Amino acid sequence: MALAELDEIRPLLVCPRCRSDLAERPDGLHCTSADCACHSPTPAPPAFPLAGRWPVLVDFGHSVVGRDTVASLARHANARGGADALPAPLRRVIKPPNRVAARNIDLLLRALPGPAPKLLVVGGATVGNGVGAAYRDARVRVIGFDIAAGPVTQFVADAHQVPLRTGSVDGVLVQAVLEHVLDPVAVVAEIHRVLRDDGLVYAETPFLQQVHAGAHDFTRYTASGHRYLFRRFEELAAGPVTGPGTQLLWSVDHLVRGLTRHALPGRAARAALFWLRGLDRLVPADFAQDDASALYFLGRRRDRQMTEDEIVDYYRGAQRHSDPT
């Protein structure tokens, strides 16, 4: 697995609040700037404690994660839930391989420069569906963080304040994450900041999906809204990850859950109607863009920002042919 060692990552780490250098202690890290609230030399508790083997680089004063949750991060690091906990054959029915992600990750890996490019995985507690090639490519150094510790996490952090130096990575992968952050615009601005000039980003975000993380599910995007979120990036590729057939499966699942007041019957209905997913292939691209279950964006960092006129002209859905009256 191409995970970067923590010793490789440490020179890139900075204070999430002020971006000053960090100092190490046996029980954690703290900011070296005496003017920063995260400066906490001995004997004060470290501003950034350890949760098992994971440094927790969270500015607790500006995050949904509290200091009292640090201990639980390590306890639940290897827990599996939802479809991931099912036997492999059933898991492939409920959660089939993401071939769109696999194709785009291949494009991303081919475009990453140099002999050892750094790929930052935002929300990297586990290996995402279809992105395993990034972890198998011996050339790439993967840096993964999440708000919760996991098997492929090197440190814990909040994506609103990425504790990495400006221009320190060559690519960013952010799959099924932006719906779970309070301020996606701020998170994308952080992605833009930590990328080098001409760095690459690959994102997948839901459009027509039901709530799937309870109190930590905040946002959905149309294709145009997703593009404007990445307005400081040049588009290399964009489109539906999954279309209206998959979206219908989500709706059936949650309709049955609502009628039965239980998730298991919903999952059973979803498994029985798995063939609806195949209808995605029959829907033209412009209709799929208006009805997608999820969308992707592959782009290259730039300084020029997309204008309001450009985003209106960007729309590619089926309704561009309709009579506005």
List of domains in the chain:
53-243+287-312 (3.40.50.150), 244-282 (no CATH)
Residue labelled with tokens 């750094």: 118
pLDDT in tens, 243-254: 999 999 999 999
Can you give the pTM of this predicted structure?
0.92
What span, in angstroms and rounded, lies between the C-alpha atoms of 63 and 45?
18
* CA-closest candidate to residue 301, choices 202, 231, 200: 200
Report the pLDDT value the prediction gives residue 325, as an integer from 0 to 100.
47
pLDDT tens digit at each of 325 positions of the chain:
688 888 899 999 999 999 999 999 989 999 999 999 999 988 889 999 998 888 999 998 888 877 777 656 655 555 555 555 555 555 565 678 999 999 999 999 999 998 999 999 999 889 999 999 999 999 999 999 999 888 899 999 999 999 999 999 999 999 999 999 999 999 999 999 999 999 999 999 999 999 988 888 999 999 999 999 999 999 999 999 999 999 999 999 999 999 999 999 999 999 899 999 999 999 999 999 999 999 999 999 999 999 999 999 999 999 987 654 4
Report the pLDDT value the prediction gives residue 73, as an integer from 0 to 100.
63
Within 28-67, residue ranges assigned H as helices are none
Within 96-218, residue ranges assigned H as helices are 99-111, 132-136, 184-194
Residue labelled with tokens 């971006």: 19
Report the pLDDT value the prediction gives residue 92, as an integer from 0 to 100.
60
pLDDT in tens, 100-154: 999 999 999 999 998 999 999 999 889 999 999 999 999 999 999 999 888 899 9
Report the pLDDT value the prediction gives residue 82, as an integer from 0 to 100.
54
Measure the N-to-C terminal CA separation of the chain; round to a whole number of Å: 56
* CA-closest candidate to residue 180, choices 202, 211, 201: 211
What span, in angstroms and rounded, lies between the C-alpha atoms of 172 and 191?
7
Report the pLDDT value the prediction gives residue 324, as an integer from 0 to 100.
47
